[in-house]
């Protein structure tokens, strides 16, 4: 095993420049929603060149569109294919899904960027570009791990299913489509940018909207009306209190370092249309965090109950209860047993590669891991290079050394998890 590991390390080192070039190519293929095809073709070519079985398809069909967990602002995925490559094992080993999304969030205002948002420019060991951290860097780690194993002549026992999916940034329809296509494994790994922390649990989230009612009046006699803005302050206060209550329930040590494990973020407020009128409606939109071991339904009930309670302290709400709706984004929480064998393996390989203890935490955001574990019945760990601080912002970058370090840890983990045919090389 030691020898195989050294061989892999040498291979990764020796192919550093071509790998960086490949990542640059991936970044330059701007794969915002609806525009993923060029990047997926690059991935497909790479998988075919490695001799993998390759499956390319555009998500579609009623089973997907009518699925309880389907969420996307669109229903037509023409030109937005998923790409899956199968590195078939010799048999007798455990299988694994390696999942990474190819879609990137829009680059925003180009003037905010030092260079072109899709430059793939390298400076001080960092590559810059939209999507390089979230999550093409992580995808490269996966591809490199597989390629290194393959080119070092190592034969795994278990199957490795690499998934380059669309739609993660918009609710996970790409991964859901892969699950419905039948892809399943004994475990999964998603190299989202965790800054090399290991996330066995991922927070889910849902978007909500609350309509708060008032009664209009002229501003000069505002006491004749009821301000929906004043009432919405009470609603926000109630939401804040619910957040406190929900987080007091969280005792999981994985959340020890997190100030608010499952926040409820009020992101948008909008109400009234005339400075000198008492506003009769306010709309509040937000994101509710869902604990890794909680159902979406339970979280929904929590918020509804909190809003219902408002009428106990303010009679206005008896006749005019705030109307709650769930809309838009929805990310299923995910969790893997802390004693799961993939956890043990990953932690062990991390220790041996980095010479330090990994940080094990619960993620503050959702990933496709929720779908994989809850719908696809495939327990998932999230672990990857890059920091989320720079994702979704201008001048997104990744430290290239981390991509290679992650590739090495993933490769070593695959050897252990899938098992090696000893005379495979």
- The DSSP symbol for 136 reads I
Min CB(289)–a second copy separation in Å: 6
Of 109, 124, 248, 275, which lies in the binding site for a second copy, with binding defined by CB under 8 A? Answer: 275
Name, in order, each residue with C-beta under 8 angstroms of 46's C-beta and a sequence gap of 6 or more: 22, 143, 147
In angstroms, the CA 385 to CA 197 distance is 9
- The DSSP symbol for 168 reads G
Among the listed ranges 62-70, 90-98, 149-157, 229-237, the one in contact with a second copy (CB under 8 A) is 229-237
In angstroms, the CA 316 to CA 325 distance is 20
Cα–Cα nearest to 304, from 320, 292, 321: 321
Q: Which of 168, 294, 302, 361 is catalytic?
A: 168
Min CB(105)–a second copy separation in Å: 11
User: What ranges in 192-293 are assigned the alpha helix state H?
Assistant: 228-248
Vertex 82: Cα angle to 76 and 86 (nearest 5): 155
Among the listed ranges 30-38, 57-65, 200-208, 414-422, the one in contact with a second copy (CB under 8 A) is 200-208
Strand partners, 99: 163
Min CB(207)–a second copy separation in Å: 4
> Residue 110: how many CB atoms within 10 A of its CB?
11
Phi, psi torsion values for 288, nearest 5 degrees: -105, 125
Of 14, 219, 253, 425, which lies in the binding site for a second copy, with binding defined by CB under 8 A? Answer: 219
Examine residue 246 and tell whether it contacts a second copy (CB under 8 A). Answer: no
Are the beta carbons of 236 and 303 closer than 8 angstroms? Answer: no
Cα–Cα nearest to 364, from 284, 267, 257, 269: 257
Of 24, 137, 193, 289, which lies in the binding site for a second copy, with binding defined by CB under 8 A? Answer: 289
Quick one: 57 or 274, whose CB is closer to a second copy? 274
**Active site annotation includes 103:** yes
Which residues, numbered 343-382, are part of the site for a second copy (CB under 8 A)?
363-366
In angstroms, the CA 375 to CA 363 distance is 19
| C-alpha dihedral (401, 406, 412, 414), degrees to nearest 10 | -150
Q: Which of 55, 103, 107, 402 is catalytic?
A: 103
Examine residue 273 and tell whether it contacts a second copy (CB under 8 A). Answer: yes
Name, in order, each residue with C-beta under 8 angstroms of 371's C-beta and a sequence gap of 6 or more: 69, 172, 175, 176, 179, 332, 334
Among the listed ranges 5-13, 43-51, 112-120, 201-209, the one in contact with a second copy (CB under 8 A) is 201-209
Of 272, 324, 338, 421, which lies in the binding site for a second copy, with binding defined by CB under 8 A? Answer: 272
**Active site annotation includes 168:** yes
Of 86, 229, 359, 394, which lies in the binding site for a second copy, with binding defined by CB under 8 A? Answer: 229
Among the listed ranges 57-65, 223-231, 313-321, 353-361, the one in contact with a second copy (CB under 8 A) is 223-231
Quick one: 132 or 161, whose CB is closer to a second copy? 132
Examine residue 195 and tell whether it contacts a second copy (CB under 8 A). Answer: no
Quick one: 362 or 414, whose CB is closer to a second copy? 362
Quick one: 81 or 279, whose CB is closer to a second copy? 279
Burial of 291 (C-beta count, 10 Å sphere; 0-12/13-18/19+): buried
Number of residues that bind a second copy (CB under 8 A): 49
Examine residue 207 and tell whether it contacts a second copy (CB under 8 A). Answer: yes
DSSP 321-366: PPEEEEEEEEE--EE--TT-HHHHHHHHHHHHHHSSPPPEEEESS-
In angstroms, the CA 423 to CA 22 distance is 31
Quick one: 285 or 308, whose CB is closer to a second copy? 285
The 40-59 contact track toward a second copy, x by CB under 8 A, reads --------------------
Min CB(24)–a second copy separation in Å: 27
Examine residue 105 and tell whether it contacts a second copy (CB under 8 A). Answer: no
Min CB(265)–a second copy separation in Å: 3
Min CB(394)–a second copy separation in Å: 12
In angstroms, the CA 288 to CA 310 distance is 19
Of 119, 329, 394, 421, which lies in the binding site for a second copy, with binding defined by CB under 8 A? Answer: 329
Min CB(364)–a second copy separation in Å: 4
Are the beta carbons of 120 and 27 closer than 8 angstroms? Answer: yes
Examine residue 236 and tell whether it contacts a second copy (CB under 8 A). Answer: yes
Residues at the contact surface with a second copy, assessed by CB under 8 A: 203, 205, 207-209, 218-223, 227, 229-230, 232-233, 236-237, 259-260, 263, 265-279, 282, 285-287, 289, 328-329, 363-366, 388, 392
Tell me which residues are annotated as active site: 103, 168
């Amino acid at each position: 095993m030691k020898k195989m590991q050294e061989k892999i390390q040498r291979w990764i080192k020796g192919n550093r420049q071509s790998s960086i070039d490949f990542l640059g190519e991936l970044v330059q293929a701007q794969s915002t929603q609806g525009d993923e095809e060029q990047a997926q073709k690059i991935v497909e070519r790479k998988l075919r060149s490695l001799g993998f079985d390759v499956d390319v398809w555009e998500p579609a069909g009623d089973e997907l569109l009518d699925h309880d967990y389907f969420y996307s602002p669109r229903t037509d995925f023409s030109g937005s294919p998923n790409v899956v490559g199968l590195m078939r094992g010799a048999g007798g080993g455990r299988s694994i899904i390696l999942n990474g999304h190819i879609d990137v969030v829009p680059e925003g205002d180009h003037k905010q960027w030092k260079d072109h948002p899709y430059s793939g420019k390298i400076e001080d060991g960092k590559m810059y570009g939209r999507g390089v951290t979230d999550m093409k860097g992580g995808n490269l780690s996966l591809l490199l791990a597989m390629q290194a194993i393959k080119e070092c002549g190592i034969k795994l026992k278990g199957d490795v299913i690499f998934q380059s999916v669309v739609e993660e940034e918009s609710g996970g329809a790409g991964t859901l489509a892969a699950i419905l296509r039948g892809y399943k494994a004994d475990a999964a790994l998603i190299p989202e940018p965790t800054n090399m922390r290991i996330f066995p649990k991922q927070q889910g989230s849902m978007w909500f909207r609350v309509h708060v009612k008032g009664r209009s009046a002229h501003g000069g006699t505002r006491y004749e009306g009821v301000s929906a803005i004043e009432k919405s302050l009470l609603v926000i206060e109630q939401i804040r209190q619910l957040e406190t209550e929900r987080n007091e329930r969280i005792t999981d040590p994985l959340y020890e370092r997190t100030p608010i494990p499952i926040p409820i973020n009020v992101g948008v407020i909008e109400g009234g249309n005339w400075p000198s009128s008492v506003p009769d409606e306010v709309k509040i939109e937000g994101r509710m965090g869902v604990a890794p071991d909680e159902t979406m339904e339970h979280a929904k009930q929590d918020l509804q109950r909190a809003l219902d309670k408002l009428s106990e302290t303010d009679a206005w709400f008896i006749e005019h209860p705030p109307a709650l709706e769930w809309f838009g984004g929805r990310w299923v929480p995910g969790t893997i047993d802390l004693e799961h064998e993939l956890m043990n393996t990953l932690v062990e390989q991390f220790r041996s590669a980095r010479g330090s203890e990994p940080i094990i935490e619960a993620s503050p955001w959702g990933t496709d891991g929720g779908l994989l574990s809850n719908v696809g019945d495939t327990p998932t760990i999230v672990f990857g290079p890059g920091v989320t601080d720079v994702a979704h912002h201008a001048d997104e970058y990744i430290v290239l050394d981390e991509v290679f370090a992650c590739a090495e840890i993933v490769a070593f983990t695959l050897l252990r998890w899938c098992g090696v045919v000893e005379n495979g090389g």
